[in-house]
């Protein structure tokens, strides 16, 4: 082996296939949901405490930045859910070959984005 190998791997030059992006986004969305969990639990606590704290929470959530944050969390949940169903299908051997894996990753991306748009219109 006289081949010169690079000392540093240039990650920005690697062309990742769509199932790789789905996998990375699945992990990132899971991390985002995990980190947002204390905030979501705090919002639940304020919504259930008294009517005053509920109205204060609704006033905060009416702000466009809060709606944008909610939309991001909604996408994270929907993508994580759809990709989780994809991985479950792979584990149950319903997705058997490379073509099905690529098609299922397209379905995950389309479904998570379409559901986010549909539910986001209701949220906004």
Q: Which of 17, 18, 24 is nearest to 109 (CA)?
A: 18
Is pLDDT above 80 for 11?
no
Rounded-to-integer distance, Cα 110 and Cα 23, Å: 15
Report the SS3 class of residue 124: coil
The structural domains of the chain, with segments of one domain joined by +, span 33-62, 64-124
Give per-residue pLDDT as tens, 46-102.
Answer: 999 999 999 999 999 999 999 999 999 999 999 999 999 999 999 999 999 999 999
Global pTM reads 0.85
Q: Dihedrals φ, ψ of 93, to 5°? A: 60, 35
For residue 2, the model assigns a pLDDT of: 65
């Amino acid at each position: 082996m006289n081949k010169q190998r690079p000392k540093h791997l240039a990650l920005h030059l690697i062309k990742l296939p769509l199932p790789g992006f789905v996998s990375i986004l699945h992990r990132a969305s899971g991390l985002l949901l995990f980190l947002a969990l204390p905030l979501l639990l705090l919002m639940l606590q304020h919504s259930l405490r008294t009517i005053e704290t509920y109205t204060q929470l609704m006033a905060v959530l009416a702000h466009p930045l809060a709606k944008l944050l909610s939309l991001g969390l909604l996408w994270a949940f929907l993508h994580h859910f759809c990709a989780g169903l994809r991985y479950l299908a792979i584990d149950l051997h319903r997705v058997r070959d490379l073509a099905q894996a690529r098609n299922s990753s397209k379905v995950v991306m389309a479904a998570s984005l379409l559901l986010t748009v549909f539910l986001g219109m209701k949220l906004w």
